[in-house]
Structure 1
């Protein structure tokens, strides 16, 4: 009697991308992936529409693209990587955060090095004058 109640509670606590493995079969998993694919395609098409149309106020296009990109990252995290707020996903979230930190450090360090090199390089006209 309590087993059925626990299954209903467990099924109600699932995130949109999670599937209840015991209750459903492969059809529920495929349906979850198809919903995620549909949302990802919709967000991608919307991004291309926003970037290529004159119907959207021009100064708001970068902000709209950033919002759509963040929404698409959320769709990928939930529907394809199955990152949820459950206690069993703590290691996945920490690994994802560490990966994001490493990527940000590499990109930030590269930009810092390139800016420093650009600042310290001799301008081309001075090089030409030295060769004469």
Structure 2
């Protein structure tokens, strides 16, 4: 019997996984912070924005995999489905809002 599962079958991480997740999280936080504090935003603003966006997405993935233990296993299927549904709802809400605001802005300028 494995010690990585509780009575309900939910997977829990071990110290190695938490340590890897913590180190990756710190690195993904320090990289954009260091770029901004070094003043790179004044010379290459587009590069800094791209690095911040890429490290933010990577940070989300690290949090989901190492701390929330979301993976493709059969135990996590419903959690992943609920997460994907939530992301789709947020995307529809955000994209729809931007679309409506753009439409209203266009009509106000006529």
Q: Give yes or no for contact 2:40–2:48 (8 Å, CA) kept in 1.
A: no
Structure 2 equivalent of residue 90 of structure 1: 77
Provide the residue aligned with 1:129 in structure 2: none
Alpha-carbon distance between aligned partners in 2 of 1:109 and 1:51, rounded to the nearest angstrom = 32
TM-score, with length taken from structure 2: 0.72
Measured in 2, the distance between the counterparts of 1:70 and 1:86 equals 22
Residue 109 in structure 1 maps to residue 96 in structure 2: yes
C-alpha contact 1:39 1:75 (8 A) present in aligned 2: yes
Measure how far apart 1:122 and its partner are. 4.3
Which segments of 5 or more consecutive residues in structure 2 lack a partner in the other structure?
7-12
Provide the rounded CA distance (Å) in 1 between the counterparts of 2:40 and 2:73. 41
Equivalent position of 1:69 in the other structure:
56
Question: 1:51 aligns to what?
Answer: 36
- Deviation, 1:77, is 0.3
How large is the RMSD of aligned CA atoms in angstroms?
Answer: 2.9
Give 1:106 deviation, angstroms.
Answer: 0.3
CA distance in 2, matches of 1:38, 1:106: 34
Normalising by structure 1, report the TM-score: 0.62
Alignment size in residue pairs: 102
Once residues 71 and 79 of structure 2 are traced to their aligned partners in structure 1, the CA distance between those partners, rounded to angstroms, is 9
Shift of residue 55, structure 1, vs aligned partner: 6.1
Point out where structure 1 has 5 or more consecutive residues left out of the alignment. 8-18, 23-27, 124-132
3-state SS of paired residue (1:121): helix
Contact 1:50/1:65, CA 8 A, preserved across alignment: no
- Aligned to 1:43, the other structure's residue is in SS state helix
